[in-house]
Every structure is written in C-alpha cells, then in structure tokens.
C-alpha cells in the first residue's frame, strides 16, 4: 500500500526533530572535533599552509540531519541498501563540508580577499549545501520518491 504524503511528512518532522535535538546536544561538537582533525591534517600537514585559526560554517553542517531522516523513513529500501546509501550520502556530505569550510575560509574578507567575492560566491555555496541532502535522497531513492509524489497512474507511464 502506498504511503500518504502527509504521513511521510509527519514522520520526517518527528525523526528530524529528534535527530536535531541529539545533534545540538552532543553531535555537533563531536562532528566539529572530527572535521577539525581532518582539515588540520589536510590544510596544515599536507599543504604546508600556516593557519592560526580556522573557523567553520557550523550552521551549515546540520544538513546531515535531513538526509539521515529521509533515508531512515523512506519505505521499500532493503536494510543493506539503506545502510550503503546512507554511508555514501554521509561521505559525500562530509566531503562537501570539508570543501565548503576551505572555500569559505579562503573567500572570507579577513583573509585578504575582497568582500564582494565572498558575498557573490558564499550564497550559492550555502544554497547548494542546503539542497544537497535532498538531491542525494532523490538520487539514492528515485523509485520511492516517484512513488511518494506521483499518483500510480502517472508514475506507471
């Protein structure tokens, strides 16, 4: 039986709120520590850059939550596939966080870049970051997304 869209939305909100609470309680600080270790290694050790202070666009990192929520509540995905798709999606999001952090760091005005360049490029970067979880969900659960949003007669064509 096809799941009703409103039921899906209610489940999405419930799971997302729970994950956001966990994220802000402890998850975000642990995630920043892990990400900081990776970025420190890549930026300082491998590239030889001398960076005294590296700030993170922390508010963007919570885009992990909608992706995880969507993958948890999407029906008709076998457990092994769900875990695999969830892992690949999280890897892509984490790599994106690393790229975004470096890009924002190097674009920011206090690092001798023009404020105009920062303003022009940061908005598209942030917008892409916020849509990426939903794009990944559509990519990894195409059949389920079509079944959810399109009536059976239209989806069968």
Residue ranges of the domains in the chain?
5-143
* pLDDT for the residue numbered 108: 66
Q: Which residue has the higher pLDDT, 156 or 148?
A: 148
**Would the pTM of this model clear 0.85, i.e. be above it?**
no
Q: Which residue has the higher pLDDT, 68 or 58?
A: 68
Q: Which residue has the higher pLDDT, 121 or 55?
A: 121
Q: Where are the alpha helices (DSSP H) in the chain?
A: 5-22, 28-40, 64-73, 79-107, 115-140, 142-149, 152-156
């Amino acid at each position: 039986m096809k799941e009703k869209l409103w039921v899906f939305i209610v489940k999405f909100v419930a799971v997302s709120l729970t994950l956001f609470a966990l994220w802000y309680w402890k998850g975000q600080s642990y995630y920043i520590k892990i990400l900081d270790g990776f970025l420190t290694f890549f930026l300082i050790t491998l590239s030889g850059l001398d960076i005294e202070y590296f700030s993170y666009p922390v508010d963007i990192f919570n885009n992990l939550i909608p992706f995880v929520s969507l993958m948890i509540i999407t029906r008709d995905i076998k457990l092994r596939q769900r875990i695999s798709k969830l892992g690949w999606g999280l890897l892509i999001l984490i790599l994106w966080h690393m790229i975004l952090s470096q890009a924002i760091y190097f674009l920011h005005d206090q690092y001798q870049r023009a404020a105009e360049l920062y303003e022009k490029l940061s908005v598209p970067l942030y917008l892409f970051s916020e849509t990426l979880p939903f794009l990944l969900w559509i990519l990894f659960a195409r059949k389920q997304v079509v079944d959810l949003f399109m009536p059976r007669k239209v989806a069968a064509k």
